[in-house]
Amino acid sequence: MIFAAAEVRKLARLARLSLSDEEVSSMQHHLGEVTKYVDSLQKINVDQVEPMTHAVPLDLPLRVDEARPGVGRLGLVSSAGYEDGLIKVPKIIE
């Protein structure tokens, strides 16, 4: 089974990945092969089985509501490019 090129392109758009024609073609085969392999999971009876999302039960601890020194705005985005202390990004509303 191979994936249709259009389907690969649609997934690439969802994943925000530009792919060359060559990559699309190799992805058609790869996705086909791997989904065929993982289809073995369809044979397992999972009726009445609760999904397991984490290995340990998680609570949602809240930290104490107090100010702590951070790393600073500019420290967090090291390579983004700045102007007047602001982060530069392309226009987001055309």
Partner 1 sequence: MRETKPETWSLPEAAARLRSGEISSRELTISCFKRIHEHDGNIGAFLCLTEASALLAADASDERRETKQTLGLLDGVPVAVKDMILTEGVPTTAGSKILEGYRPPYDGTVVAKLKSAGAVMMGKLNQDEFAMGSSTESSAYKLCKNPWDFYRTPGGSSGGSAAAVAAGFVFGTLGTDTGGSIRQPASFCGIAGIKPTYGRVSRQGVVAYASSLDQVGPFAKDVSGAAIMLQAIAGHDARDSTSVKQAVPDYLQALTGDVKGLKIGIPREYFIEGLDAEVRDSVQKSIAALQASGAEIIDVSLPHTEHAVATYYVIATAEAASNLSRYDGVRFGPRLGDQNGLLSMYEETRGQLFGPEVKRRIMLGTYVLSAGYYDAYYLRAQKVRRLFADDFKNAFQNVDVIVCPTTPTPAFGIGEKSDDPLQMYLNDIFTVSANLAGLPAMSLLTGFSKQGLPLGTQIIGRPFDESTLMNAAFAVEQTLNIERDLGW
Whole-number Cα distances in Å, 59 to 33, 36, 50, 56: 38, 36, 18, 10
What is the rounded CA–CA span in Å between residue 93 and residue 88? Answer: 14
What is the H or E stretch that residue 83 is in?
strand 82-83
Q: Assess contact for 12 and 24: CB atoms under 8 A.
A: yes
**Interface with partner 1 (CB under 8 A), residue from 6, 21, 38, 65:** 38
- Check binding of 71 to partner 1 (CB under 8 A): yes
Amino acid at 70: G
- Contacting residue, 6, 21, 50, 67, with partner 1 by CB under 8 A: 50
Min. distance of Cβ 46 from partner 1 in angstroms? 4
Nearer to partner 1, 72 or 84 (CB): 72
Residue ranges that bind partner 1, judged by CB under 8 A: 8, 11-19, 23, 26-27, 30-31, 33-35, 37-38, 40-42, 44, 46, 49-56, 58, 60-61, 63, 71-72, 75-81, 87, 89-92, 94
